[in-house]
């Protein structure tokens, strides 16, 4: 595109008070959205064991529920971004919350896994996409200097609600079965509509209209491109920095949800009592919270480049995950959960801030949509691949014998029926 067209497309940006005031209500809304979307997904491992037993299926087959949901969130992100640019963020988020609730309630009446794939996987996942992307975009608009700490505080909703929801889900499953617990969860998801109601739109500058004497075919074509870019900035795919960062997202998403999904059943296979196993997720969530707040604050100090901080936390996260198979007792698993939560939180706290720095806040909405779309392949394949690895017991002979034995017990636990 010519420079003049790019200049016009970039004038679509918020104008108004930043870094405070009503912005803190946007932080609150985003906090709840993180918790009621990705926090619920991370806590779904409690349902995973029950659904696996109820339908007498394999670990890989059951994990597709979460996998489809995660992939739909990613695939639907550009749609959420475009719809919010056209209709406004508030109505799109409220519709997303309604779809999320309907999908979860319908899933509580599912008679087979296919119905769970459609309801909890696709419908609820699409509702999450319509909810998450517009809310995070508006948070980026309301903050500039304090954007790292605002993103970090908002993202803590994921770990705080994971801490609360995981044992709560276990209690509800014990009391009302997985169907009753999912019905209650569906009612809880309606709070996403309230999150949408909190989104007060900022004044926005729009591209200037073409004068009546610029009427050639080329000018009309340029005007059409500007209009399209206003809702879906497809020029991002030609941005080398953005595409490289999106590749980071793909590899991150491959392992993003697998530990949360398999940690509870793995702990159960080691003889850990069910409430202790559920507590591992709560331990991870507490340290996740600490990591987000601490490293979000560090990023806000601007002592080092945010992208350099992200590189360090990602390396540490990989090291912790490599040490994971060595944990077999509750104490060891608790230490692993704490380490994983801390560095995971440190990573999540700043990755959206880095994205805003890569593309600029004016293009953050479209960038989030395309980033999630590109990252979707990792989110889709991650949980099933992890389940298949456990099922096939893909552990090399270099590992200690007790690790191979523990994985065999884990596979037997996943494949047995009630």
User: What pLDDT score does 137 carry?
Assistant: 86
Backbone phi, psi, residue 15, to 5° = -135, 125
Name the more confident of 6 and 172.
172
Distance (Å, rounded) from C-alpha 335 to C-alpha 337?
A: 5
pTM to 2 decimals? 0.70
Structure tokens at 339: 């380490």
The pLDDT tens digits of the residues spanning 78-90 come to: 888 888 888 889 9
Chain center to CA of 106: 22
User: What pLDDT score does 107 carry?
Assistant: 93
Question: Which of 102, 106, 107 shows the shortest CA–CA distance to 51?
Answer: 107
Residue 162 CB coordination number (10 Å)? 26
Residue 242 CB coordination number (10 Å)? 19
User: What pLDDT score does 25 carry?
Assistant: 92
Structure tokens at 47: 């349902």
The pLDDT tens digits of the residues spanning 162-215 come to: 888 888 988 999 899 999 999 999 999 999 999 999 998 876 544 444 444 474
Question: Residue 1 above 60 pLDDT?
Answer: no
Q: Specify the CATH architecture of the domain 15-204+228-415.
A: Up-down Bundle (1.20)
Average pLDDT score, the chain: 78
Question: Residue 314 above 90 pLDDT?
Answer: no
The pLDDT tens digits of the residues spanning 354-408 come to: 888 888 777 777 787 778 777 777 766 776 676 666 566 544 434 344 444 444 4
Question: Which of 66, 42, 48, 41 shows the shortest CA–CA distance to 284?
Answer: 42
User: What pLDDT score does 86 carry?
Assistant: 82
Question: Residue 414 above 50 pLDDT?
Answer: no
Question: Which of 363, 302, 369 shows the shortest CA–CA distance to 149?
Answer: 302
User: What pLDDT score does 71 carry?
Assistant: 79
Distance (Å, rounded) from C-alpha 65 to C-alpha 33?
A: 20
Residue 15 half-sphere exposure toward CB, CA atoms < 13 A: 7
**Average pLDDT for 301-327:** 85
Name the more confident of 45 and 217.
45
User: What pLDDT score does 417 carry?
Assistant: 38
Question: Residue 286 above 70 pLDDT?
Answer: yes
At residue 160 the predicted structure's pLDDT band, cuts being 50, 70 and 90, is confident
C-alpha distance from residue 32 to each of 28, 79, 337, 344 (Å): 6, 21, 23, 19
Strand partners for 203 = 15
User: What pLDDT score does 126 carry?
Assistant: 94
Which of 139-143, 224-228, 253-257, 384-388 has the least mean pLDDT?
224-228
C-alpha distance from residue 343 to each of 40, 308, 316, 346 (Å): 20, 14, 7, 5
The 3-state secondary structure of the chain reads CCHHHHHHHCCCEEECCCCCCCHHHHHHHHHHHHHHHHHHHHHCHHHHHHHHHHCCCCHHHHHHHHHHHHHHHHHHHHHHHHHHHHHCHHHHHHHHHHHHHHHHHHHCCCCCHHHHHHHHHHHHHHHHHHHHHHHHHHHHHHCCCCHHHHHHHHHHHHHHHHHHHHHHHHHHHHHHHHHHHHHHHHHHCCHHHHHHHCCCCCEEECCCCCCCCCCCHHHHHHHHHHHHHHHCCHHHHHCHHHHHHHHHHHHHHHCCCHHHHHHHHHHHHCCCCHHHHHHHHHHHHHHHHHHHHHHHHHHHCCCCCHHHHHHHHHHHHHHHHHHHHHCCCHHHHHHHHHHHHHHHHHHHHHHHHHHHHHHCHHHHHHHHHHHHHHHHHHHHHHHHHHHHHHHHCCCCCCCCHHHHHHHHHHHHHHHCCC
Name the more confident of 191 and 238.
191
Question: Residue 226 above 60 pLDDT?
Answer: no
């Amino acid at each position: 595109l010519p420079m003049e067209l790019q200049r016009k497309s970039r004038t679509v940006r918020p104008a108004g008070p930043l870094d405070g005031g009503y912005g803190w209500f946007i932080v609150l809304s985003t906090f709840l959205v993180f918790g009621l979307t990705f926090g619920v997904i991370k806590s779904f491992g409690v349902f995973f064991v029950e659904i696996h037993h109820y339908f007498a299926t394999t670990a890989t087959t059951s994990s597709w529920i979460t996998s489809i949901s995660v992939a739909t969130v990613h695939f639907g992100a550009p749609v959420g971004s475009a719809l919010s640019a056209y209709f406004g963020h508030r109505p799109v988020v409220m519709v997303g919350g309604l779809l999320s609730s309907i999908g979860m309630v319908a899933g509580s009446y599912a008679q087979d896994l296919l119905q769970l794939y459609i309801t909890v996987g696709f419908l609820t996942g699409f509702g999450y996409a319509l909810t998450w992307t517009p809310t995070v975009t508006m948070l980026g608009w309301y903050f500039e200097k304090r954007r790292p700490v605002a993103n970090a505080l908002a993202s803590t909703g994921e770990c705080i609600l994971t801490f609360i929801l995981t044992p709560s889900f276990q209690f509800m499953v014990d009391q009302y079965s997985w169907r009753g617990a999912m019905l209650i969860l569906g009612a809880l998801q309606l709070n996403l509509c309230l999150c949408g109601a909190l989104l007060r739109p900022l004044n926005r500058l729009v591209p200037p209209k073409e004068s009546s004497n610029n009427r050639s075919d080329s000018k009309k074509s340029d005007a059409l491109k500007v209009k399209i870019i206003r809702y879906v900035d497809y020029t991002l795919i030609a941005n080398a920095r953005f595409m490289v960062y999106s590749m980071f997202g793909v590899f991150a998403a491959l392992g993003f949800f697998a530990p949360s999904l398999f940690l509870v059943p793995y702990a159960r296979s080691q003889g850990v009592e069910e409430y202790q196993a559920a507590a591992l997720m709560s331990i991870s969530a507490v340290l996740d919270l600490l990591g987000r707040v601490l490293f979000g604050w560090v990023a806000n100090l601007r002592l080092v480049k945010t992208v350099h901080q992200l590189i360090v936390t990602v390396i540490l996260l990989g090291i912790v995950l490599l040490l994971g198979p060595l944990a077999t007792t509750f104490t060891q698993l608790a230490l692993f959960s704490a380490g994983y939560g801390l560095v995971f939180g440190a990573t999540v706290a700043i990755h959206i801030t880095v994205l805003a720095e890569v593309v600029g806040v004016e293009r953050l909405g479209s960038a989030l949509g395309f980033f999630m779309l590109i990252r979707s392949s990792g989110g889709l394949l991650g949980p099933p691949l992890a389940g298949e690895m456990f099922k096939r017991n893909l552990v090399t002979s270099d590992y200690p014998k007790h690790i191979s034995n523990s994985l065999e017990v884990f596979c037997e636990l996943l494949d047995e029926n009630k």
